[in-house]
């Protein structure tokens, strides 16, 4: 049976996100956070009111999976709140970004300075400064963990202007 | 007589320029994309990193790779794009910077006019393009309940709303004819009912022509039931927009005439830059309520689009 969404105290989730990605204080503004069951935290407008409707399939956008031992940011959550990440973020060139979007793993050469990512775990994959989604950082490799339904096997990438 | 001409022949008395309509229906439908203001900061950063000015718009980015993008005359930040065969594969679409939508599907949210902080229901919302436009007009504030009962379409609805970052959207999958009354009252309701989709003739000509001829009458009952339920969910003084992507009076004026009572007023409206035809007050020998003439029917040849019909209905106090 479906359970209702309940409004959460935001503090632990905002703190986790801010610590993990070095995003600015106050980035979440006055957003509300919601949960159904124990797995996913959703982020929504401050004044959204799903309470009188039942059953509800989603409130705002999914932000974090908190059901496992390690919390995992959602790709949608990172697309929305990963623009200003300063930690645990990797910048991909356009070819690497296309691989990432197709769901493939991007291997980094031994001398690649991007191998100096401090922590294993879930990171923001960005290209041209904009977040593409969630990746899992394993030593030397960036594994795409985009949901299958959001993968793009033949991404049409923008072109960089030639001066 | 072509398949399309045959399928539309019953509307010949309603159309001034029949030849233009048939010719328009035989041309492919222009592709339209709109820029998502929720991702404005993303777009600016992307533009700068690509070597454009910060204020470069989506059309500049698309033109940069050879596509032709012309702004729509009647709505801001939306373009007709030529040469883009797989818009869903673009990075801009994947990251929610743009959404691809039939041009006239942008119109019902304009007529609805939802405001930030309101409580709004999109009763048959999938696949979510109109929902997203309503969320944009609400500045992502308030509560927008996006409902659809069909599971595959519900997935598309959720996927689109999440990709576009619509944080004021609550997705539900409830049979609209039994939508719980205690979820209301709503300030505004968009009822974009399931219909025979004649307006999609330019997109899928044969399928639409076959489907339309079979399913017009079968849809009216469901449409009337949905409208009756939506009416109960609307607050006094609230606005309901009833829309279909079909021409059939049986799915438009006749449904309004059959369902609406004395507490309803179908109000006149016009969208500057879009040409529409007035609704009709008589069909198949039946006299309809006078304000049915305020429904607006957008034939494909009038604006070089698909087809649509929209009615804006205000709820007064019961008398």
pLDDT in tens, B244-269: 999 999 999 999 999 999 999 999 99
Domain that holds residue A19: 6-81
Assign residue B231 the CATH number of its domain: 3.40.50.150
pLDDT interval class at A3 (50, 70, 90): low
- What is the predicted pLDDT for the residue at B212? 57
| Residue B118 and residue B200 share a domain | yes
Name the domain boundary from B58, B82, B101.
Answer: B101
**Range B106-120 average pLDDT:** 98
Q: Please tell me if residue B149 touches chain A, with a CB cutoff of 8 Å.
A: no
| Residue B260 and residue B153 share a domain | yes
Mean pLDDT of chain A: 92
B46 vs A158: CB contact, 8 Å cut-off?
yes
- 């009354």: which residue's tokens? B181
Distance CA B209, CA B3 (A): 7
Q: Model confidence over B174-195: pLDDT tens digits?
A: 999 999 999 989 999 999 999 9
The tally of domains found in chain A comes to 2
CA atoms within 13 A on the CB side of B95: 37
Detail the DSSP E strand segments found in B150-216.
Answer: 169-172, 186-192
A48 vs B170: CB contact, 8 Å cut-off?
yes
Name the domain boundary from A49, A81, A113.
Answer: A81
- 């096997």: which residue's tokens? A153
Q: Model confidence over B202-251: pLDDT tens digits?
A: 777 666 566 555 667 678 999 999 999 999 999 999 999 999 999 999 99
Mutate to test the interface with A, among B160, B161, B170, B176 (most CBs of A within 10 A): B170
C-alpha angle B293/B294/B298, rounded to 5°? 95
Q: Model confidence over A30-50: pLDDT tens digits?
A: 999 999 988 999 999 999 998
Q: Model confidence over B133-165: pLDDT tens digits?
A: 999 999 999 999 999 998 889 999 999 999 999
Closest residue by Cα to residue B125 from B207, B36, B33, B192: B192
| Residue B132 and residue B37 share a domain | no
Phi and psi angles of residue B76, each rounded to the nearest 5 degrees, phi first: -75, 155
Distance CA A98, CA A92 (A): 9
Q: Model confidence over B300-314: pLDDT tens digits?
A: 999 999 999 999 999
> Burial level of A38, CB count in 10 A (0-12/13-18/19+)?
exposed
Detail the DSSP E strand segments found in chain B.
Answer: 31-35, 68-71, 78-82, 98-100, 119-122, 143-147, 169-172, 186-192, 234-244, 264-267, 277-278, 282-283, 286-287, 296-298, 308-315
pTM score, two decimals?
0.95
| Residue B179 and residue B72 share a domain | no
Distance CA B88, CA B123 (A): 25
Q: Is the pLDDT of residue A150 over 50?
A: yes
| Residue A96 and residue A70 share a domain | no
| Residue A105 and residue A45 share a domain | no
pLDDT interval class at A68 (50, 70, 90): confident
| Residue A121 and residue A74 share a domain | no
Domain-located, residue A107: yes
Q: Which of B65, B172, B183 is facing A158, going by the closest CB pair?
A: B65
Name the domain boundary from A81, A112, A129.
Answer: A81
B161 vs A57: CB contact, 8 Å cut-off?
no
Distance CA B293, CA B266 (A): 8
> Chain A residue closest to B91 (CA)?
A157
Domain that holds residue B117: 3-28+104-315
Which residues are within 8 A (CB) of B198 and not within 5 positions of it... i.e. 6 or more apart? B7, B8, B208, B212, B245, B246, B247, B248, B307
**Range A105-130 average pLDDT:** 90
Percent above pLDDT 90 for chain A: 80
Instruction: Give how far A49 is from chain B: nearest CA, Å.
Output: 6
Residues B308 and B298 sit within 8 Å (Cβ to Cβ): yes
| Residue B169 and residue B24 share a domain | yes
- What is the predicted pLDDT for the residue at B206? 63
Residues B201 and B23 sit within 8 Å (Cβ to Cβ): no
Q: Is the pLDDT of residue A1 over 50?
A: no
- H-run or E-run covering A6: strand A6-7
| Residue A76 and residue A10 share a domain | yes
- The lowest-confidence range among A152-156, B120-124, B194-198 is B194-198
Q: Is the pLDDT of residue A107 over 50?
A: yes
The tally of domains found in chain B comes to 2
Residues B7 and B213 sit within 8 Å (Cβ to Cβ): yes
Name the domain boundary from A41, A64, A81.
Answer: A81
Domain-located, residue A155: no
Which residues are within 8 A (CB) of A153 and not within 5 positions of it... i.e. 6 or more apart? A102, A103
**Range A141-151 average pLDDT:** 95
B161 in catalytic set: no
C-alpha angle B138/B140/B141, rounded to 5°? 75
Distance of CA B297 to the CA centre of its chain: 12
Distance CA A95, CA A106 (A): 10
């Amino acid at each position: 049976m479906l359970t209702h969404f309940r409004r959460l105290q935001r503090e632990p989730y905002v703190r986790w996100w801010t610590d993990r990605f070095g995003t600015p204080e106050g980035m979440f503004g006055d957003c509300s956070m919601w949960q159904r069951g124990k797995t996913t935290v959703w982020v929504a407008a401050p004044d959204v009111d799903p309470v009188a409707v039942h059953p509800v399939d989603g409130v705002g956008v999914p932000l974090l999976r908190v059901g496992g031992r390690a919390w995992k940011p959602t790709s949608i959550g990172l697309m929305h709140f990963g623009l200003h990440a300063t930690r645990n973020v990797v910048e991909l060139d356009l070819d690497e970004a296309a691989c990432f979007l197709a769901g493939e793993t991007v291997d980094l050469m031994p001398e690649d300075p991007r191998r100096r990512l401090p922590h294993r775990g879930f990171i923001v994959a960005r290209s041209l400064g904009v977040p593409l989604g969630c990746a899992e950082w394993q030593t030397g490799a960036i594994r795409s963990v985009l949901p299958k339904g959001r993968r793009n096997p033949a991404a049409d990438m923008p072109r960089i202007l030639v001066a | 007589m072509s398949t399309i001409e045959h399928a539309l022949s019953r509307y010949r008395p309603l159309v001034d320029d029949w030849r233009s309509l048939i010719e328009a229906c035989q041309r492919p439908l222009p592709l339209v994309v709109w820029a998502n203001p929720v991702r404005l900061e993303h777009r600016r950063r992307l533009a700068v990193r690509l070597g454009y000015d910060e204020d470069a718009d989506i059309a500049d980015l698309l033109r940069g790779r050879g596509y032709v993008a012309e702004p729509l005359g009647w709505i801001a930040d939306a373009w007709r794009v030529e040469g883009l065969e797989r818009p869903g594969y673009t990075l801009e679409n994947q990251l929610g910077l743009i959404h691809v939508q039939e041009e006239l599907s942008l119109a019902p949210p304009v007529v609805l006019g939802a405001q930030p902080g309101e409580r709004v229901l999109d009763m048959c919302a999938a696949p979510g393009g109109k929902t997203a436009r309503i969320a944009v007009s609400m500045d992502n504030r308030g509560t927008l309940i996006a409902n659809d009962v069909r599971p595959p379409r519900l997935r598309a609805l959720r996927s689109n709303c999440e990709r576009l970052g619509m944080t004021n959207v609550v997705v539900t999958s409830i049979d609209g004819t039994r939508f719980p009354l205690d979820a209301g009252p709503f300030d505004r309701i968009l009822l974009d009912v399931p219909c025979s989709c004649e307006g999609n003739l330019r997109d899928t000509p044969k399928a639409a022509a076959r489907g339309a001829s079979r399913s017009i009458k079968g849809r009216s009952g469901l449409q009337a039931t949905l409208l009756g339920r939506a009416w109960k969910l609307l607050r006094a003084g609230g606005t309901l927009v009833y829309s279909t992507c079909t021409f059939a009076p049986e799915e438009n004026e006749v449904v309004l005439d059959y369902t609406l009572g004395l507490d309803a007023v179908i109000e006149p409206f016009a969208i500057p830059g879009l040409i529409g035809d007035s609704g009709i007050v008589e069909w198949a020998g039946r006299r309809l309520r006078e304000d049915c003439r305020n429904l607006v029917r957008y034939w494909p040849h009038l604006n070089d689009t698909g087809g649509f019909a929209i009615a804006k209905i205000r709820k007064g106090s019961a008398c």
